[in-house]
Chain A
Amino acid sequence: MDNQTISPRQFMFLVILFTIGSSIIIVPGPLAAQAKQDAWLSITISLLIGLTLILFYNHMAKLMEGKTFVQATIMVFGNWFGRFILFFYLSFLFILAALVLRNIGDFMTTEIIPETPLQFTHILFLIVVIWGAYLGLEVMGRSAEMFMPWVFLLLLFFTITLAPQINVENLQPFLGEGFMPVLSTSTFVIGTPLLEMVTFLMIFPYVKDAKTKRKAWVLGVFIGGMILTLITLLCLLVLGSDLTALNTFPSYKLAQKINIAGFLEGLEIVIGIIWMLTIFFKMVVLYYAVSVGVAQFLTMDDHRPLLLPLGMGMIVLSIIAYPDVAYFETFVGDTWFPYAFTHGFILPAFVWIGLIIKSKRDKKQKDLSSHS
């Protein structure tokens, strides 16, 4: 909005944090329930599909010529039909942000602060997110750069301290259930977080350095995906597939197992900190994209006035979204993938075709005018 730019490296860190945030909570459980001990393999498969998806987004961003997704869609499809498409795109981002907020709220109320009502956890968390979105993209990029080493160090600490409890037999038999469950569950990780990467089409134009930023996007998704694979693998190796599937927060359960020589225990807050940091960055990216998107949708000068009113709506949505845990499980398990697929792939593909036709037509016109 206000000509702030970030470097490709900061962008990559944002992508990594976005990939890990909230997926780290919800991915291992359902995957282990269906693919059993091969859950880690299905993440790897979906990561490969996800990387081709990023190549598609990259090509699309190239065609958008420095415009955000909202501006490009309005340019291609005109004021009315373009806005009709964008209404769905922006509502997708808004709902996603509310659901991510609910993820961290649910985690905090069940594990860390059970006495505090959900609303207040959400309000407190969202105030920080609004502050971040108010300060803008540069601040987001710089703070991602600051917190990235912490996330890496805590993950490293987590892996090393769990290493003695690894039991390789938990991974056997390899492909014991056949290949089909592995393939069918890979849609889960494609739905969250890989198709959610469509959010970055709102931020991509504000990244400097056209060549390296494409590589940064692919590399960021790759590293984030590897971290997800690592967490799921650790869950399977230490807890086994049955316990992983039974727990609401398997990786938190995993951290409770950390026991250093019998005197250092109760380190589960380490993984709690990783969650809070990554979810904060996911929220801030989503929130920034939503508010900038709405502001460009309405051709406003600045996105900042929208931040607080949108926050009020988001808190209500995040509270009414999931009446109970069963609703959450069916929604994330069954509905989320088709919902994310229509908004993360079909809708952008539609705009992509429009962009190609438009760029060809522009080229023709240029040729005609140069000949005459």
Chain B
Amino acid sequence: MKVWSILAIIIVAAVIFIVEFPLLKKKKKDLWFFSLFLVIFTAISVLEAGEVPLPNPLDYIQSFYQLFLG
């Protein structure tokens, strides 16, 4: 099950890249940022699908505001 969902995420990311690439060929900067976001978020999704415990940003927000509110 784990393997299948990881595989599915990678296939989805590949499809997104194949769909967007022809449209971005001429715009180098857009292509770079798009690829950067895609790689980062695909990696995060794969980690999540692999049941690796990820840090929750809400925990940091909560502990930050607890400093003031006590």
- Contact surface of A with B, Cβ cutoff 8 Å: 91, 95, 298-302, 305-306, 308-310, 312-313, 315-317, 319-323, 327, 330-331, 334-335, 338-339
Contacts and interface: CB of A to CB of B under 8 A. Distances in A.
Nearest to A314: B41
A313 B42 CA distance: 8
A309 B38 contact: yes
Contacts of A313: 37, 40-41, 44-45
Most buried by A among B12, B33, B68: B33
Given A320-B56, A338-B69, A312 B30 contact: no
B54 interface: yes
Nearest to A327: B58
Nearest to A310: B37
Interface of B: 9, 12-13, 16, 20, 23-24, 27, 29-31, 33-34, 37-38, 40-42, 44-45, 48, 54, 56-58, 61-62, 65, 68-69
A334 B69 contact: yes
A339 B62 CA distance: 9
Contacts of B44: 312-313, 316
Dominant secondary structure at the B interface: helix
Nearest to B36: A309
Contacts, number: 82
A129 B13 CA distance: 18
Contacts of A301: 27, 29-30
Contacts of B30: 300-302, 305
Nearest to B26: A301
A335 B23 contact: no
Nearest to B63: A335
Contacts of A315: 45
A309 B16 contact: yes
14 contacts: A91-B57, A95-B61, A298-B29, A300-B27, A301-B30, A305-B23, A305-B30, A305-B34, A308-B38, A309-B16, A313-B40, A316-B48, A335-B62, A335-B65
B7 to A, nearest CB: 15
Given A301-B27, A305-B24, A312 B13 contact: yes
